[in-house]
Structure 1
Amino acid sequence: MTNPIADPGHGHSPAAWTAVVIMLVGFAAGTVFFCFPDGSGAVGVWISGAVIVLGAITGWILAKAGWGVKGPKYTPKAH
């Protein structure tokens, strides 16, 4: 019997990894743009925010397409 508390079963799917990588790129770029002097990176910060939102939407779409933890296209790896 599997203990649901020990293994919640989330975050180990292609949908989750894709979403996290896209959002990490958005956060990293936003941080770099934020450090530009005189507010010249403001547009870059807003675009980076849009990339973060795009990453979340991409993860949701991939999960709905079957690449999430409970999706038919996902096969868990043995530990």
Structure 2
Amino acid sequence: MSGSSHGHTPAAWTGVTIAFIGFCISGAFTVMAKPVGFWAGLGVVVIGGIVGMAMSAAGLGKPKRKPHTVQPGSQA
């Protein structure tokens, strides 16, 4: 696993950081028994996912690999 670059992109770091903050918010409001704050924290988690996907679509994520094609006349 350490050989792959899974999660080592600005999009991944930003999305996970925002989601982590959302989980912390939800956890704190759970302890304080405030449902509105809990749901607001979960909203922040969703925003983290959206931000991560948007940054990935903008080119800040892992580049997509092109499928390997065999050239005509070559041996596979």
> Highest Rg: 1 or 2?
2
1:35-68 deviations in Å (ceiling 9; x for gaps): 01xx3x1000001011000000100000000000
Q: TM-score, normalised by structure 1?
A: 0.74
1:6: Cα distance to partner?
5.0
- AA partner of residue 18 (structure 2): I
Distance 2:2 2:21 in 1: 30
SS of the aligned residue for 2:41 comes to: helix
Structure 2: 5+ residue stretches without partners: 65-76
Distance 1:56 1:67 in 2: 14
Aligned to 1:60: 53
Work out which of the residue numbers 26, 29, 33 in structure 1 matches 2:29.
33
1:69: Cα distance to partner?
1.6
Distance 1:6 1:14 in 2: 18
For these two proteins, the number of residue pairs brought into alignment is 64
Q: TM-score, normalised by structure 2?
A: 0.77
Identical aligned residues as a percent = 38
Provide the alpha-carbon RMSD of the alignment: 1.5
Distance 2:2 2:11 in 1: 22
SS of the aligned residue for 1:9 comes to: coil
Structure 1: 5+ residue stretches without partners: 72-79
